[in-house]
């Protein structure tokens, strides 16, 4: 395990560097340091591939997660803008790269099985964060999957299925500055 702000590699060491769904984990100051470090390790004619989501679209999995926490008495403070997303990623990467191409892919899913949708949720970071978050007592954290499943079942009963639309973004950055 390492720190993306101090990658143990020589300058211009790699023709291709991948930052898949991780840059949004850094606040703005830390993100600038990570982009500078990625710039440092990408070869002059190399590329950086950075993937993320869009902040513009609502993610049903997140909505149900937030509804679940509210039922348990821990309403979320509301959506916070990502430090790195479709809407700002090209600008963020332009601080370290001469050229940034944006590629958007849309994935549409439909699920009529609340158990399967809950199993997917339990594999995600949101569940693990909520289940282990300090202000949420362990007993309430243990109830998260059952409450989430009931919320998913309500959605299926109301709409016939859980339909999700996810915008995935891949930025290809070239020409480290």
> Rounded to two decimals, what is the model's pTM?
0.77
The contacts of residue 75 (CB under 8 Å, 6+ apart) are 66, 69
Six-digit token string for 52: 């993320």
Is 6 domain-assigned?
Answer: no
CA atoms of 60 and 81, how far apart (whole Å): 17
**Cross-strand bridge partners of residue 140:** none
The pLDDT of residue 32 is above 90? yes
Is 99 domain-assigned?
Answer: yes
CA separation, residue 36 to residues 9, 83, 95 (Å): 13, 15, 8
pLDDT for position 132: 78
The model's pLDDT over 110-125, given as tens digits with 9 standing for 90+, comes to 999 999 999 989 987 6
Six-digit token string for 169: 């973004």
pLDDT for position 165: 85
Is 83 domain-assigned?
Answer: yes
Work out how many domains the chain is built from and give that number.
1
Structural domain containing residue 36: 14-176
CA quadruple 65, 105, 54, 94: dihedral sign? positive
Taking residues 86-105, what's their average pLDDT?
96
The model's pLDDT over 36-64, given as tens digits with 9 standing for 90+, comes to 999 999 999 999 999 998 988 777 888 89
Is 7 domain-assigned?
Answer: no
Mean pLDDT over the full length of the chain: 91
Strands, E assignment, the chain? 14-20, 42-53, 97-111, 162-176
Residue 1's pLDDT band, with cuts at 50, 70 and 90, is low
Is 5 domain-assigned?
Answer: no
CA atoms of 101 and 84, how far apart (whole Å): 15
Is 153 domain-assigned?
Answer: yes
CA atoms of 174 and 97, how far apart (whole Å): 6
Is 37 domain-assigned?
Answer: yes
When mean pLDDT is compared across 60-64, 98-102, 142-146, the lowest value belongs to: 60-64
Start-to-end Cα distance in the chain: 27
Q: DSSP letter at 161?
A: S
Q: Which residue in this structure is represented by tokens 């403070």?
A: 77
Is 75 domain-assigned?
Answer: yes
Residue 142 is part of a domain; what is its CATH number?
3.40.50.150
């Amino acid at each position: 395990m390492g720190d993306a702000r101090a990658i143990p590699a020589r300058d211009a060491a790699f023709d291709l560097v991948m930052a898949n769904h991780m840059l949004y984990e850094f606040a703005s100051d830390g993100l600038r340091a990570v982009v500078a470090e990625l710039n440092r390790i990408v070869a002059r004619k190399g590329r950086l591939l950075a993937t993320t989501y869009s902040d513009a679209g609502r993610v049903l999995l997140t909505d149900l997660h937030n509804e679940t926490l509210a039922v348990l008495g821990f309403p979320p403070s509301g959506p916070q803008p990502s430090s790195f997303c479709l809407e700002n990623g090209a600008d963020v990467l332009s601080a370290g790269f001469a050229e940034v191409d944006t590629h958007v892919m849309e994935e549409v899913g439909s699920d009529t099985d609340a158990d399967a949708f809950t199993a997917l949720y339990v594999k995600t970071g949101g569940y693990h964060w909520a289940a282990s978050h300090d202000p949420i007592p362990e007993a309430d954290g243990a109830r998260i999957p059952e409450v989430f499943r009931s919320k998913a079942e309500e959605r299926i009963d109301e709409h016939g299925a859980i339909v999700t639309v996810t915008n995935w973004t891949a930025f290809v950055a070239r020409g480290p500055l």
